[in-house]
Amino acid sequence: MGTREQLVDSTRELLWERGYVGTSPKAIQQRAGAGQGSMYHHFAGKRELALAAIERSADELLAAADELCAPGTALERVTAYLRREREVLKGCPVGRLTQDPDIVADPQLRAPVDESLARLRARLTEVLDEGRAAGELPAVLDTAALAATVVAVLQGGYVLARAAGAPEPFDQAVSGVLALLAAHAH
């Protein structure tokens, strides 16, 4: 991995673990094993590094949603996505950024967070639409609302797990929404 990549990767980890306000340029340099001169050769500063790191996290969030493109019924695909292996106690590297006031207040830093979560919801809406068209889900259900519910369950499940210091509440929240969806599927 080149120095530039190493810097972006270290920033991504630190934003995930400590957030924007808790991440100093010095901490990024130390984790990346790069000097100050090297960092400022590649990036104008912490904000530009954060932007590259957030864009990478956003890309990975969407890449992870590939389970939704696998074969199977809509419910099977949503189930596979919700049940995929996750570092539950670390939380979501994208969702956690919404608690960073400096990121939310900065349109450029917030954009990849907003766009990736919006695209994830749009992709889930398509899957649920296919399920509805196939008669798998009732026509009366608002698939865009359901997609927001599914993504919210993931993001909120992380919150509950981190509060509890254990993954169980995340698993329960996922089980609950899947049971509700499954009861509708026919």
Minimum gap (Å) between residue 105 Cβ and its own copies: 10
Q: Is 92 helix (H, G, I), strand (E, B) or coil?
A: coil
What is the 8-class DSSP label of residue 68?
Answer: G
End-to-end CA distance of the chain: 49
- Give the footprint of its own copies on this chain (CB under 8 A): 17-19, 21-22, 91, 94-96, 98-101, 104, 110, 113-114, 117-118, 121, 138, 140-142, 144-160, 162-165, 169-170, 172-177, 179-181, 183-184
| Contact partners, residue 78, CB within 8 Å, separation at least 6 | 68, 124, 127, 128, 150, 178, 181
* Of 63 and 105, CB closest to its own copies: 105
Contact criterion met (CB below 8 Å) for 92 and 61: yes
Q: How many residues does the chain have?
A: 186
* Of 35 and 176, CB closest to its own copies: 176
Nearest to 144 by CA among 157, 166, 127: 127
* Of 38 and 148, CB closest to its own copies: 148
* Of 42 and 156, CB closest to its own copies: 156
Contact criterion met (CB below 8 Å) for 158 and 48: no
Minimum gap (Å) between residue 175 Cβ and its own copies: 4
Minimum gap (Å) between residue 93 Cβ and its own copies: 11
Minimum gap (Å) between residue 42 Cβ and its own copies: 26
Minimum gap (Å) between residue 140 Cβ and its own copies: 8
